[in-house]
Structure 1
């Protein structure tokens, strides 16, 4: 290659390199304008993986009814390439509707997204063909498979109350249990509850829902140790119509009118009349004999036509109380004496 040829060759090579270098310097790529949330996922011990749905600027999180609702979560978030999100993926955030996330593209374009919490929780359902009883300090159990449905089985999310006829509420203590593969909520009536023995509605709040029974199906009952006892009569009694008769005993509580009965020839019971309650203390109960009560001398405990039995009615709220079928509780007056009713 002669000198001229070499000069031409090197000149062309240099020009080509310069051209290539010039082209490389002029190639530029625009910053990415994309600022989308592409995936938003939450994982907790109670739910497993929950993938949110993105709709416009809403992050829709469908929370299952069976799971307790935590105060915060740490979502794993994927955004457009080269974009950033605030709060960053994995950062604890409040699990409430309105929590904001801001995505900023590489080019600086900003888009805000807002969390929307959707609770997949149906309303609480009660089976009201049942009654529950316990004394103060006692516990009753409700099947959450059958008798109260759709509770979140977590004491932080679910609370219970008794409700009286005036609408006043008193809190109960609850614990969720599983026995023989059946789920229960065990409900304890506080020893110091202000409500007296009686019938009350039951209220639950669970997650975002609340419900109250239509019937007063919970009975606070007296313990059997409080069941009244009448002292046997040892002396015959004579009392006038419209006069008073007093019986002694122990643990008299919530006393009502007394039932007076006898027997027919076939030994079936017959009603003789009623003694009307005037007053009572823990150890005495005083009744008025009605003005039209049948006169005569009766034998207490007798089974013939002159026999008489006396039952002092007390509170309905002892064992076996049921709102569907109120059982009257009586205290039998015993003794082998006569009771004479005169004008």
Structure 2
């Protein structure tokens, strides 16, 4: 009898274990529905780690002004448990607003996120106690530690322009360089720039900010080969007051009134008067003798009280030029002749 009871008990126990095992096999867990970006980190070139801020569907990457702006980044991305992200964490992507990331939950629900690049930079600052004189096709360098600050040192994000008095802008070519541990932006004036020789304001747009200098501190200058030259006088001149006289030469450009000077007894210069410019071409310049010009016969190039020197003022934009200290350029009239001024 006990044997029979024991068999019944063992049979019931085996059936119970089978039932428990069967129940365990039938238990299922719902797939995770979560598809969030929980952390998005970017390692900069020698400047540490940037942790982006995730707000809604935006990944806000605040890029510091001191860090070089690369074309691509390989962000480390942490997402919800059991979710996946595309492109995958560590994959190189464009560092640009609009770059898309898709997080797919374990259950298959997908959510898109979009990068928003924010250049975290202060306003551009200029040192305007400086001038730049450059030929067309030439290059001038600006110290970015001292003379223009807070540029994003990336030619794709930073642009430079010359601005004329009418507000017209012409883009310049730039490149960023480091020489002797000093950072520079090298600026090239295009050979075919439509602006004539003269002074212009400088503008930079960099990232999300832009600025224009208050002063016209960039001077496009003429090459020395184009400096005007006057033909020496070979015959004496007699001219009435309130009438005109003409000088010939080459490369006359941007001519202005002529300075007429002489010498005192101690050989110091004295101003005699001014010849007013009437007109000029590339090879001649015509001036009017004012009605009050001192009469008399003068010796061109003489150093006594009857001596006379004539300087035809031309463009300020030759060789040295500075907006803070404009140096007048003159074409000297030469020749061993006399000039007589009469009524």
**What TM-score, normalized by structure 2, do the two folds share?**
0.89
Q: Contact conserved, 1:46 with 1:68, CA < 8 A, in 2?
A: no
Say if 1:278 and 1:169 are closer, same or farther in 2 by CA, change over 3 A: same
Q: Contact conserved, 1:144 with 1:184, CA < 8 A, in 2?
A: yes
Matching residue of 2:302: 302
Spell out the pairing of 1:139-288 with structure 2 (5 A cutoff): 139-288=139-288
Matching residue of 1:318: 318
Q: Secondary structure at the match of 1:294?
A: coil
Segment of structure 1 superposing worse, 117-126 or 254-263:
117-126
User: What displacement does 1:9 show?
Assistant: 3.4
User: What displacement does 1:336 show?
Assistant: 2.1
Measure, in 1, the Cα distance between the counterparts of 2:180 and 2:99: 42
Superposed CA RMSD in Å reads 2.6
Matching residue of 2:61: 61
Structure 1: segments with no counterpart, 5+ residues: none
Measure, in 2, the Cα distance between the counterparts of 1:188 and 1:25: 76
Q: Contact conserved, 2:58 with 2:113, CA < 8 A, in 1?
A: yes
Measure, in 1, the Cα distance between the counterparts of 2:90 and 2:183: 35
Structure 2: segments with no counterpart, 5+ residues: none
Q: What CA deviation, in whole Å up to 9, does each residue of 1:135-185 have, x standing for no partner?
A: 112221111121111222222222222111111122222222222221222
Measure, in 1, the Cα distance between the counterparts of 2:57 and 2:122: 27
Q: What CA deviation, in whole Å up to 9, does each residue of 1:92-129 have, x standing for no partner?
A: 76655455545443356665544333211222221111
User: What displacement does 1:249 show?
Assistant: 1.9
Matching residue of 2:8: 8
Q: Secondary structure at the match of 1:6?
A: helix
Aligned length: 342
**What TM-score, normalized by structure 1, do the two folds share?**
0.89
- In the alignment, does 2:29 pair up with 1:37? no
Q: Secondary structure at the match of 1:8?
A: helix
Measure, in 2, the Cα distance between the counterparts of 1:143 and 1:114: 36
Q: Secondary structure at the match of 1:7?
A: helix
User: What displacement does 1:310 show?
Assistant: 0.8
Q: Secondary structure at the match of 1:219?
A: strand
